[in-house]
Amino acid sequence: MSNIVDPLVGQIAARVRTERERRQWTLAQLADASGVSQAMISRIERGESSPTAVVLGKLSAAFQLSIASLLTLAEGPQDDTEAVAGVRHRSETDEWRDPGTGYRRRQITGPHFPAEVAEIRLPAGARVPYPAAAFAFLRQVVWVLDGHLTFHDGDTVHELDAGDTIELGEPAERVFANTTDTECRYAVILSRGTQP
């Protein structure tokens, strides 16, 4: 049985707090960097609130991390020699649900895999915007698996159907929207680019 939401609230709380403390930022500094209120960050860090996808996007942009990194348990540095190939059953992976839109995200790859792959289920009528900074230092491909995705890449709008892919270029404000009356399922594949 897949774990939905509750187990991840504590993981997100730990990760956000760890990343903020690692940078020696106050709540006010993180609020300024992300555009998320201090009160909301405090509730997230205490595990009292599950952030929306939009809030996760803003926090990931401030930390210059992928959203997937914020959805994993805060861990210390990992040794690449520990990487283990193997089967990950669906019952062993957590699924996070955005409390605002019902958007669901399941991480497909483990922490040692060199690329991050996530499966997204975007409900009918849902719209999830992300700031340009959430895409900094990332190379990303979106692959529509089922349904129809209206993808806003800055000022350009792409209508994507099952089987369509889009490789993202320079960071821009982006919106994932489902303007249909059925769920859209897509994969996000990303790898890190060069950091300053």
| Domains recognised in the chain with CATH numbers | 3-70 (1.10.260.40), 93-192 (2.60.120.10)
What is the reported pLDDT for 86?
72
pLDDT tens-place string over residues 70-87: 776 433 344 443 445 677
CA distance 112 to 105: 19
- pLDDT over 70, % of the chain: 85
pLDDT tens-place string over residues 91-143: 767 788 888 899 998 888 877 778 889 999 999 999 999 888 778 767 889 99
What is the pTM for the complete model shown? 0.74
Q: Please state the separation of Cα 120 from the chain's center in Å.
A: 10
What is the reported pLDDT for 4?
40
Residues 142-170 have a mean pLDDT of 96
Specify the higher pLDDT residue, 81 or 145. 145
- Give the pairing type, strands 165-168 and 138-146: antiparallel
Residue 29: its H or E element:
helix 27-34
